[in-house]
């Protein structure tokens, strides 16, 4: 059920992204001839005001179709075609999906904070969320649920600063053993971890977060509510952007942390076990990730289409079709290849973890 919930949430977020494109076109009077929920063969189909609405066999996401895509059935000089509209209107349509996902994430955070409240200040230490099999953290005996309180005998403190301090210490130690003091089942224990050297930086293969209390308190007024939501929203957005930047500046290290569809569904299933709050957090995180991902300047994504449109605006004419096709095909192979690698990697990790639990 948790897996089904995470898949449903992911599908709804992609659908909301496409809905942004659809509404941006409709409100500007741009011709749209189709709006589909899902992919594959149609299960239900209804035409209304020259737009075909359909529900398809695989309800993960959706797509918007424009008459421009079928040149044999249209008058190419029609001013209401997307390609005949001013550059700024086309940019609005292209950008609307990203804006829709960011807006949705912000609304989700407002709803979550309004109903659940603001979390209390974090306790001292760092909480271990997950440990990757056969990595240094796993080999040292570190387990999910452990609370790391000290490193080399010194208190780590609390909050994001504590996590940052530990990560920096790990990254600069690529050969030396690090002593950490953990709390597990009310028992203090010292562990010794030797980070793995990846491109000159140490890594231990553990997912960490501040040791946050479960207690929350209601916001006193709207100002406190929006101050907290703004802080959380821009923190999530900044961290997501930094993660994608790492693919360029430090690909080998960042690629190890990159999650594919299987891992995303697994994370969603884990968060959904926490109830409504976990599902909302998962939805906000993935919605922001979809926005940032689609902003990347790859032809198959909104960012790539935006680049093509901006270049057309500067040149006064579209990029030659042969060049667009060549770039798009290369982008397709890159995205498909990356997706396949991530799916294989994430699936194999899940199999390893399952075997460990079954031993």
Domains and CATH numbers, the chain: 85-120+216-359 (no CATH), 121-212 (2.30.42.10)
End-to-end CA distance of the chain: 25
**What gap in Å lies between CA 146 and CA 140, rounded to an integer?**
12
CA 297 to chain CA centroid, nearest Å: 17
**What gap in Å lies between CA 63 and CA 297, rounded to an integer?**
19
**What gap in Å lies between CA 295 and CA 302, rounded to an integer?**
6
φ, ψ (nearest 5 deg) of residue 65: -115, 140
List strand residue ranges (DSSP E) for the chain, in order: 34-48, 51-65, 118-119, 126-131, 147-151, 154-155, 178-184, 187-193, 196-198, 201-203, 206-210, 216-217
Higher-pLDDT residue of 214, 239: 239
Side-chain-side CA neighbours of residue 158 (13 Å): 8
The total number of residues shown for the chain amounts to 359
φ, ψ (nearest 5 deg) of residue 174: -105, -10
Maximum distance among all Cα pairs of the chain, rounded to whole angstroms:
75
Q: Catalytic positions, please?
A: 18
The whole-number pLDDT of residue 129 equals 79
With beta carbons less than 8 A apart as the criterion, state whether 60 and 38 touch.
yes
pLDDT averaged over every residue in the chain: 75
With beta carbons less than 8 A apart as the criterion, state whether 211 and 126 touch.
yes
> Would the pLDDT of 1 be above 70?
no
- Overall average pLDDT of the 242-252 stretch: 60
Higher-pLDDT residue of 34, 299: 34
Highest mean pLDDT among 141-155, 201-215, 268-282, 284-298: 141-155
With beta carbons less than 8 A apart as the criterion, state whether 79 and 265 touch.
no
The whole-number pLDDT of residue 174 equals 72
> Would the pLDDT of 4 be above 70?
no
pLDDT single digits (tens) 59-117 = 666 788 888 655 566 677 788 888 888 999 999 999 998 999 999 999 998 988 888 77
* 3-state SS assignment for residue 152: coil
CA 87 to chain CA centroid, nearest Å: 29
Query: Kind and range of the H or E element at 45?
Result: strand 34-48
């Amino acid at each position: 059920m948790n897996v089904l919930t995470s898949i449903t949430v992911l599908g709804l977020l992609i659908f909301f992204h496409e809905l942004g494109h659809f509404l941006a076109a409709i409100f500007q009077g741009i011709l749209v001839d189709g709006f589909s929920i899902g992919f594959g063969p149609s299960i239900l189909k209804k035409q209304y005001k020259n737009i075909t609405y359909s529900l398809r066999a695989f309800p993960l996401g959706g797509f918007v179709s424009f008459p421009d895509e079928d040149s044999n059935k249209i008058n190419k000089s029609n001013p209401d075609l997307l390609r005949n509209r001013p550059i700024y209107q086309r940019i609005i349509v292209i950008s609307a999906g990203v804006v829709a996902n960011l807006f949705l994430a912000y609304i989700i955070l407002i709803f979550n904070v309004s109903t659940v409240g603001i979390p209390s200040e974090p306790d001292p230490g760092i909480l271990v969320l997950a440990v990757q099999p056969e990595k240094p953290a796993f080999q040292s005996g570190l387990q999910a649920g452990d609370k790391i309180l000290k490193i080399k005998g010194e208190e780590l403190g609390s909050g994001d600063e504590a996590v940052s301090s530990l990560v920096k210490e790990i990254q600069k130690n690529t050969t030396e053993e690090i002593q950490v003091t953990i709390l597990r089942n009310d028992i203090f224990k010292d562990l010794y971890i030797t980070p793995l050297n990846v491109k000159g930086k140490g890594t231990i293969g553990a997912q960490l977060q501040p040791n946050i209390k479960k207690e929350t308190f209601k916001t006193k007024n709207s100002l406190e509510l929006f101050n907290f939501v703004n802080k959380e929203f821009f923190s999530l957005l900044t961290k997501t952007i930094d993660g994608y930047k790492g693919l360029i500046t430090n690909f080998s290290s960042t690629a190890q942390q990159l999650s594919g569809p299987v891992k995303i569904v697994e994370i969603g299933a884990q968060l959904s076990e926490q109830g409504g709050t976990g599902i909302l957090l998962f939805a906000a995180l993935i919605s922001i990730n979809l926005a940032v991902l689609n902003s990347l300047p790859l032809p198959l994504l909104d960012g790539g289409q935006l680049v093509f449109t901006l270049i057309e605006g500067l040149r006064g004419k579209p990029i030659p079709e042969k060049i667009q096709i060549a770039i798009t095909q290369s982008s397709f192979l890159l995205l498909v290849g990356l997706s396949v690698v991530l799916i294989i990697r994430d699936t194999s990790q899940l199999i390893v973890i399952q075997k460990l639990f079954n031993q």
